[in-house]
Structure 1
């Protein structure tokens, strides 16, 4: 009888572990489950309310000037035309507040950051996963540091990048300095996600390639890496989507509202970042500038969500089932 009871208990435990569902429905578990669902519902509702309120506040500024004008740029002819419609003359100069400089600057930052962080991160992950000894002291130290670096606050990376720029005598606020800070920020994420993508490739592929006479490098370059590309692309895009909304590292290296001239900037020239332009506009005393900030928040949120959606599409389209 005891054997049958033990077998029944084992079957129930196995079923619970397999399905993730427990049959325990006492008062404590129900209260805890209700609290979890309420917390989730409350967080989603508050977030949705904030997004809707921000979108409504910036609804009047979803126009082409938001993307084509520089910060508080002013067109006298358009101002005269607006004055004829009864607009407050004090607000006319702010009516053309746009974020072209911030958008262009953020695009330059993302391209430079990708060129710096992705090759280095992928190379480091390939070495750690395919070539280094898993039991060596060096590998263990790197493992611990990677896990710790992924949780370091973003402002610390800004301080490190500022120190590096000061050490080489570089000017504050230039694009390459921002790219260094953001590269340091996303590098642990790129390495970790690339390693996970490499681990998902079955060992049979490696063993088959090696059995046919290929070297470890040839196996990695021609078999392992191509098979892991969907996971690598997903991780790097998610890392870049995090970097595009970061402002703290850029503040530490001297980024601010500098309103650069409307020519295409270079990586060694001073640029503006989209999140910082939004922050500056949100502190303005003029209502129309704050409306532009609200519209800019929605645009930045759409950019981040678009990058996350692209990562999901790539993962779903190219993901392989081994």
Structure 2
């Protein structure tokens, strides 16, 4: 009887080991597939676009002549867009996280808000474009200007900042709050001087990653009707604009008519990738710096 039991145990162990090994191989193949596709994409973009990136390409305005076309207007538009997105997202996102974690009472209202924020994080970006078109462009009559685009993109990335900030605030040890209260500090003084500095690495990381997503999004701006024509450089948040992803989109549409537009799109993709890489590197550097300090 004992021999039979031992044999069954060995069979179950072998079955579990086989399942574990099979899952390991499948996950490895999935990872390798993603890496191979990414490498092919990078290779194709670099081959097509690297030769087109020069000082003239970065400083020229948009032109119908591919040889003289540049992305200066798209770079300025992207920077102006971040002028709107960054402060709006930061104040609304961090403020919402502080309220939900430090002030809101646990109950139906808090659960309702939390559930909706989590759901908004999974909503397709084009839905936010439709919302921005309805509220900012048509209702508020802002037209397709930087302010409308910035507010729309802020709504898109706001759930990411809220969730990241909540996790960072929740990770602050409770004894730090209790020590602050024990020294006579008020709730806001505790949040300002103890909780936020300790949670800053996670908050800043989430904020910068959210801004990186906002820089790379195209669908909401397409819905808003952001142009990629020969427009003047924007001087304020009420001017019309274009951004790097929109320029890539329109040049890709024109690529079947002229192969040089495909090369321009690839060169712009490389510039956008460099910007995203720099922003993500800054996020990692900030997180490491503040983690050592606090």
TM-score, with structure 2 as normaliser: 0.90
1:292 aligns with 264
Structure 1 residue 25: deviation in Å?
6.4
2:59 aligns with 68
Structure 1 residue 309: deviation in Å?
1.5
Match of 1:267 among 231, 237, 240: 237
Larger-Rg structure: 1
1:303 aligns with 275
- d(CA) in 1 for partners of 2:104, 2:78: 36
Structure 1 residue 289: deviation in Å?
2.3
Structure 1 stretches lacking a partner, 5+ long: 1-8, 10-21, 74-92
2:288 aligns with 316
- d(CA) in 2 for partners of 1:37, 1:161: 41
Structure 2 stretches lacking a partner, 5+ long: 1-8
Give runs of aligned pairs for residues 170-319 of structure 1, distance below 5 A: 170-171=142-143, 173-262=144-233, 264-284=234-254, 285-319=257-291
Match of 2:104 among 102, 113, 132: 132
- Number of residue equivalences: 281
Residues 179-205 of structure 1, C-alpha deviations (whole Å, 9 max, x = no match): 011000011111111111111111111
2:47 aligns with 56
Look up the SS of the partner of 1:239 in the other structure.
helix
2:38 aligns with 47
Residues 254-287 of structure 1, C-alpha deviations (whole Å, 9 max, x = no match): 102132214x421001001110111111222222
- d(CA) in 1 for partners of 2:293, 2:78: 36
Counterparts in 2 of 1:26 and 1:222: CA distance versus 1, 3 Å = closer
Match of 1:30 among 7, 17, 21: 21
2:5 aligns with none
Match of 2:131 among 160, 167, 171: 160
- d(CA) in 2 for partners of 1:222, 1:259: 49
Structure 1 residue 122: deviation in Å?
0.7
- d(CA) in 2 for partners of 1:94, 1:32: 49
Verify: 1:120 aligned to 2:111, yes or no: no
Higher alpha-carbon deviation: 301-310 or 236-245 = 301-310
- d(CA) in 2 for partners of 1:59, 1:197: 39
Residues 271-318 of structure 1, C-alpha deviations (whole Å, 9 max, x = no match): 011101111112222222221111111111121122112111111221
- d(CA) in 2 for partners of 1:177, 1:104: 16
- d(CA) in 2 for partners of 1:157, 1:200: 30
- d(CA) in 2 for partners of 1:65, 1:317: 37
Contact 1:210 1:216 in 2 (8 A): yes
